[in-house]
Amino acid sequence: MNGVAVGVFVFLFLLVTVMGFAASRWRRAASLDNLDEWGLGGRGFGTFIAWFLIGGDIYTAYTFIAVPATLYAGSAVGFFAVPYTIVVYPLIFLFLPRLWSVSHRHGYVTPADFVEGRYDSRPLALAVALTGLLATMPYIALQLVGMQVVLEVIGIGTDSSNWFVKDLPLFLAFAVLAAYTYSSGLRAPALIAFVKDTLIYVVIIVAVIYLPSQFGGWGAIFDTVESSFASFNADNADAIAAGQATPRAIMPAEAAHWAYGSLALGSALALFMYPHSVTGVLSTRNRSVIRRNAALLPAYSFLLGLLALLGFVAIAAGVKVANPQQSVPQLFENEFPAWFAGVAFAAIVIGALVPAAIMSIAAANLWTRNIYRAYLRPDATHAEQARQAKLVSLLVKFGALVFVLALSKDFAINLQLLGGVWILQTLPAIVIGLYTRWLHRWAVFAGWAVGMAWGTWLAYGVASPVQAHFGGPLVNLPGTETKVYIAMLALALNLLVAVVLTPVLRAAGVDDGTDHTSPDDYTADLGDEGVVEELDPAAG
C-alpha cells in the first residue's frame, strides 16, 4: 500500500461522492417524486450530457478490466470488443430514435412498457421485464468485481484475514453509491460521468504515450508478446493437444473468425436491449441527440481499443499476476508515479460507480413499472412508484454486493455471459416491434421462451479447461466445426419460431390483442403534439 496513491484515490472518491449528492439540485427539478425525474433524469439531457452518460453506460469499469485481461491471457478473440463497439452505433442510429418517440408520446419508462403497449400482452411484457432484471443483476455484480480487483492491487483491506475488514472498503464504496443514487436518481451518474471520463481519458492518453516508450515502442511490445506466446505454446504443446490448455495468439486463428464476428454482432445487438442502455437513451431531450451521439460515441471505442492493448503492454513490462484481471492495475502500480497510479485507480473505481448506478436505476424502473405497478399495486401514484423504485435500487445493489462477496466471482462472470444470451432473446419483441406488428404476440412469446431455454442449455454444455459448465460463450454451429456465439444461435431459433408460429396462430384465430400505438408515434419528436420537453407526470 502506498500512502500517496491511497490519498489521491480517496480524495477523488470523496469528490465524486459530494457531486453525487449535489446532483439532486442539478438542472432544477421541481420534484424528484416521479419516475420521469428520478429514473430518467427529467428526460431532458442534451447531446453533451448524453455523450458522457451513454458512454459511461457502454464502457464500464468491468470492460476496462476484462478486455485487457483477455489479451494479457493470450486470447485474441477478446479484442472483439472493438468491432462490437463500432457495429453498435449504426444500429443505435436506426432503431433507438423510434423507441424514443413512442416512449415519449406514451410515457413509457422501460422497454417492457413499450412491449405491453405494442403487443397488448402482459405475459410478454413480464417476460421482457424479468429477462432485463435477470441480465442486469450480474452486470452490476461485475462492476463490483472490477472495483474489487483495483482495491486488491492498491492493497486496501487485503492485508487482513478478517473477511469484514477485507471487504469493508468495497462495502463503504457501495453504501455511498447506494445513498446518492437513492437521493439523486439518474442525475447522479450523469454528473459523475464527467469526472469519470475526464480521468479515464487522461489516464489512457498518458498510458498509451508514456508506457510504450518505456518498453521500446509498440513494435517491440508486439514482438515481445508474440515470442512470449510462442514459447508458452511450445512449453505447453502436450496440454494444448490434449485440450487442457488454450493456445495463445495475438490474432484470432482462421477457425475463430466466425466466433469473433458473431460475438461482435451479437453483443452489439444485445447492448441496446439492456435496460440500462434504454434508460440512457430515453433520458435524452430529442431524437437528434441520439443520432448525433451515434456519430460521437465511437471516440470511446478508440479508447477501449487502446486500453485493451495495455494487456500486451503488461506482458512486455513483465507484469506477473495469477489473476489476469489484475494485469492492468498492476501495470499502473509498477510503472506510474504513486500519485498518478492513485488517479488511475480512482478512474477505474469511479468508472464502476457510474454504470452500477445506471443499471440499478434501470432495474428499479423495470421492477416498479412492470411488476409492482402491473401486478402488485395497479393504482400506485407517481410518488409511490418513485418511492418504490428508490427502495428497489438499494435492494438491487445490496443483492449484487452479497452476490459478489458470498458467491464466487466466476459465478458472476458466468451469469453475465448468460445475461448476454438472455437479453438478446428480447430483440424480436423490441426491435421488430418498432417496425411492424406482423408477428403474433404469442409467437413472439414462444420464440422468446425457446431462445431462452436453448441458449441456456447450450451455455450449460460448454466446458473449459477450468470449468465443466458455462465455460465460454461459443459453441459449434450445428453440423460444423465452426464456433459461433451462443446468443446468435438462440436468436436465430427464436426468430424462426416467431415467424413460423405467426401465420399458424393467425389461422387458428388466436386473439392477437390491440396495438395501443399508432404509426406516427414512432417518428414523433420534441414539439409535436403530445411530446413536450418536460412530461407532466400527472398526465402519464
Residues forming contacts to other proteins in the complex (CB under 8 A) are 79, 82-83, 86-87, 89-91, 93-94, 97-98, 217-222, 250-252, 254, 257-258, 260-261, 264-265, 287-288, 291-292, 294-296, 298-299, 301-302, 305, 309, 523, 525
Pick 222 or 339: Cβ nearer other proteins: 222
184 or 517, CB closer to other proteins?
Answer: 517
Residue 94 beta carbon to other proteins: minimum distance, rounded to whole angstroms: 7
For other proteins, which is the closer residue by CB, 219 or 509? 219
Collapse the DSSP code of 475 into the 3-class scheme (helix H, G, I; strand E, B; otherwise coil) and give the result. strand
Name the residue with cell 427502495: 391
| CB closer to other proteins, 216 vs 461 | 216
Grid cell at residue 459? 451455455
Residue 444's closest CA among 501, 379, 377?
Answer: 501
Q: Which C-beta is closer to other proteins: that of 294 or that of 413?
A: 294
Smallest separation, CB 495 to other proteins (Å): 18
Q: Name the residue type at position 40.
A: L
For other proteins, the closer CB: 120 or 525: 525
- Provide the 10 A C-beta neighbour count for residue 128: 32
Q: 301: which 3 cell numbers? A: 471505442
| Residues 454, 437: Cα–Cα separation, whole Å | 25
- Minimum separation from the CB atom of position 527 to other proteins (A): 11
86 or 172, CB closer to other proteins?
Answer: 86
Candidates 337, 323, 13; CA nearest to 153 is 323
CB of 132 or CB of 266, closer to other proteins = 266
Q: To the nearest whole angstrom, how small is the minimum distance from the Cβ of residue 218 to other proteins?
A: 4
Angle at 304 between CA 277 and CA 181, to 5 degrees: 40
- Rounded Cα distance between 132 and 140, Å, is 12
* Strand spans (E) along 121-278: none
Shortest reach from residue 140's CB to other proteins, in Å: 28
Smallest distance from other proteins to CB 195, Å: 24
Give me the count of residues in the chain: 540
Least distance (Å) between residue 316 CB and other proteins: 11
DSSP calls for 36-91: HHHTTGGG-B-HHHHHHHHHHHHS-HHHHHHHHHHHHTT-GGGGGHHHHHHHHHHH
Q: Between 94 and 405, name the residue whose CB sits nearer to other proteins.
A: 94
Burial of 33 (0-12, 13-18, 19+ CB in 10 A): middle
Cα–Cα distance, 519 to 507 (Å, whole number): 25
Amino acid at 315: I
Q: Which is nearer to other proteins, 142 or 264 (CB)?
A: 264
CB of 453 to other proteins, least distance (A): 27
| Distance in Å, CB of 106 to other proteins, minimum | 17
Distance of CA 124 to the CA centre of its chain: 23
Distance (Å, whole) CA 230 – CA 223: 10
Q: Which are the contacts of 509, defined by CB distance < 8 A and separation ≥ 6?
A: none
Distances (CA, A) of 47 to 44, 229, 299, 301, 473: 10, 44, 14, 18, 34
Q: How far is the CB of 303 from other proteins (least distance, A)?
A: 10
Burial of 19 (C-beta count, 10 Å sphere; 0-12/13-18/19+): middle
Q: Return the C-alpha cell found at 267.
A: 453483443
The three grid cell numbers given for residue 85, joined into one nine-digit string: 463497439
Task: Name the minimum Å distance from CB 293 to other proteins.
Answer: 10
Beta carbons of 304 and 206 less than 8 angstroms apart: no
Residue nearer to other proteins on the CB measure, 309 or 458: 309
